[in-house]
């Protein structure tokens, strides 16, 4: 037993800096910031398959690392924010754009969003358009063949929830499929593309997308 303890002490002494670095990295990723791989095209063209997204976990609250214990509120989601959340309804971690806040009345008619009975402003061609959501101007992609997801009746976002949509508007399983998103499922706000690899080109880096700010 003594030899075993001596061996462990030697390993710690010889690799102390490495272990401290790993511990700090895990602490930061658990409570401050992290990055996530994007496996689907539901947020195209804003976010592409192969992007690694930097997520600010302090954007809305401070939690004890490795727990769900909330220490302080630092903000609240705004319309146009791109959020990462653990969806119980989808049983998956998702990334979508916040469209509706608590109390908002939201409807969609032939891919035109109505916020509190007012249509949003759009520009562009039939498939690739720009949508003005509050002060956030961002791109969306529409399927020219239409989709059952292109319209829904007016809903009111309940307290402590948000309504989210994907920018690839007709090819996204979002609030139209899984319902409103509880605030306590939100992990953080996606702010930048950390780096991007092209899955269709031998995973070559897309240098132009490195640390690109998200709209």
Catalytic center residues: 42, 96
Both tokens of 17, joined, read 């800096």
Containing 63, the helix (H) or strand (E) segment is strand 61-63
Q: How far apart are CA 57 and CA 13, in angstroms?
A: 33
Residue count of the chain: 215
Q: How far apart are CA 178 and CA 25, in angstroms?
A: 33
Q: How far apart are CA 118 and CA 130, in angstroms?
A: 17
Containing 94, the helix (H) or strand (E) segment is strand 92-100
Q: How far apart are CA 200 and CA 142, in angstroms?
A: 23
The 8-class DSSP code of residue 158 comes to: P
Q: How far apart are CA 30 and CA 210, in angstroms?
A: 23
């Amino acid at each position: 037993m003594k030899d075993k303890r001596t061996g462990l002490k030697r390993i710690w002494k010889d690799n102390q800096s490495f272990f401290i670095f790993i511990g700090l990295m895990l602490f930061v990723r658990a409570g401050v910031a992290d990055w996530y791989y994007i496996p689907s095209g539901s947020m195209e063209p804003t976010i592409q398959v192969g992007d690694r997204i930097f997520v600010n976990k302090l954007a809305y609250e401070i939690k004890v690392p490795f727990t769900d214990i909330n220490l302080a509120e630092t903000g609240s989601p705004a319309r146009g924010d791109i959020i990462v959340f653990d969806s119980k309804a989808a049983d998956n971690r998702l990334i979508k754009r916040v469209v509706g806040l608590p109390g908002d009345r939201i409807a969609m008619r032939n891919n035109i969003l109505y916020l509190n009975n007012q249509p949003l402003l759009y520009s562009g061609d039939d498939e690739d358009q720009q949508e003005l959501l509050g002060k956030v101007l961002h791109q969306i992609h529409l399927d020219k063949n239409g989709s059952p997801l292109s319209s829904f009746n007016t809903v009111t976002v309940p307290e402590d929830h948000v309504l989210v949509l994907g920018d690839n508007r007709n090819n996204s399983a979002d609030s139209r499929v899984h319902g409103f998103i509880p605030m306590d499922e939100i992990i953080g706000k996606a702010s930048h593309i950390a780096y991007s690899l092209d899955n269709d080109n031998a995973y070559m880096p897309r240098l132009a997308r490195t640390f690109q700010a998200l709209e």
